[in-house]
């Protein structure tokens, strides 16, 4: 504690390379069939499924002002 300089640590070269790779990832991106498919799934399919579920369950349950013993489904 007295006189030790804890802020001076040896930097791991692998961690530095990983940080540089993550900050420069956009420079090395390429559209391949895999990245195109993955983009299509995350931009189109997943929101479509969530939207379909939201649309089909819209108004099915009323969760406001429910007390213990009340049913969730509106009859």
Please report whether residue 26 resides in a domain: no
**Of 74, 54, 53, nearest in space to 63 by CA:** 74
Average of pLDDT values for 49-65? Answer: 85
So what's the pLDDT on residue 71? 78
So what's the pLDDT on residue 47? 96
Please report whether residue 16 resides in a domain: no
Residue 74 scores a pLDDT above 70:
no
Please report whether residue 5 resides in a domain: no
Q: Which of 5 and 12 is assigned the larger pLDDT? A: 12
Please report whether residue 7 resides in a domain: no
36 near 49, Cβ under 8 Å?
no
Average pLDDT, the chain: 85
Please report whether residue 8 resides in a domain: no
Please report whether residue 11 resides in a domain: no
Q: How many domains does the chain have?
A: 1
Residue 54 scores a pLDDT above 70:
yes
The range of the structural domain enclosing residue 37 comes to: 31-75
Residue 49 scores a pLDDT above 60:
yes
């Amino acid at each position: 504690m007295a006189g030790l300089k804890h802020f001076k640590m040896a930097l791991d070269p692998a961690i530095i390379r990983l940080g540089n790779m993550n900050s420069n990832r956009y420079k090395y991106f390429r559209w391949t069939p895999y990245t195109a498919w993955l983009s299509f799934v995350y931009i189109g399919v997943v929101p479509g499924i969530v939207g379909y579920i939201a649309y089909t369950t819209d108004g099915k349950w009323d969760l406001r002002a429910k007390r213990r013993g009340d049913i969730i489904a509106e009859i």
